Structure 1
Amino acid sequence: MREEEIEQEIQASRLTAPRVTLEDIEENITSAFYFTAADGVYGASGHRPNSVRAGTALRLLTFCVLVLRNGFTVTGESACVSPENFDAELGRKIARQNAIAKVWPLMGYALRERLFLREEK
């Protein structure tokens, strides 16, 4: 089930208690950076991989780094098996989706903590 379908089902069920939504997550992201492992290796060392196999493999691995409002960073990645199937834009979308999946539990914990502290008063 996709995020949009889940959101529609939640709203249709009139579930109104505090929760983290995709909109909350998107609002919490201040920056997103995308690069391949080949970009990272070249940027870090100034050298290209020393074998064709390594160079190809590194070009097929895409990273997304999300910077959250509080400065915390979360990463997502996408790896393509066949060079013929590599699509940079699709790789970035998948890497972002994987990074966002890591933000859900972080924001869920923060919300639960705020609710707990409110209950304690």
Structure 2
Amino acid sequence: MTKTILTVDDSPSIRRMVRMTLQDAGYDVIEGVDGQDGLEKATATRVDAVIVDQNMPRLDGIGMIRALRQHPNGQGVPVVVLSTESEDNLKQQARQAGALGWMVKPFTQDKLLAVIRKVVGP
């Protein structure tokens, strides 16, 4: 069964790069344009993992993770932050909110796939 990954980023070019990388590896991809849109999609549909940016309008990544963890569909879903930010304080907040990991942009396709395979399998 194909795994479904939700990618949430306000940058269309980042969403496109993540989508193409994941689809080429055989994953289904759903896209969210900001944290609120991502939260709505993550709670309406069961996804196997979420990749979320930190700095977005309407709801930032950490806020989205916190809200997702409060919803039944968000329990146990692996979340990885993909952001230009790299401060330890933000990483700690993300972990406390329920993120499994943090990747810094720009990213390589190999690294992104390695992280996703680690959290959801091939």
Q: Taking structure 2 as the reference length, what is the TM-score of the superposition?
A: 0.25
Structure with bigger gyration radius = 1
Larger % of helix: which? 1
Q: Taking structure 1 as the reference length, what is the TM-score of the superposition?
A: 0.25
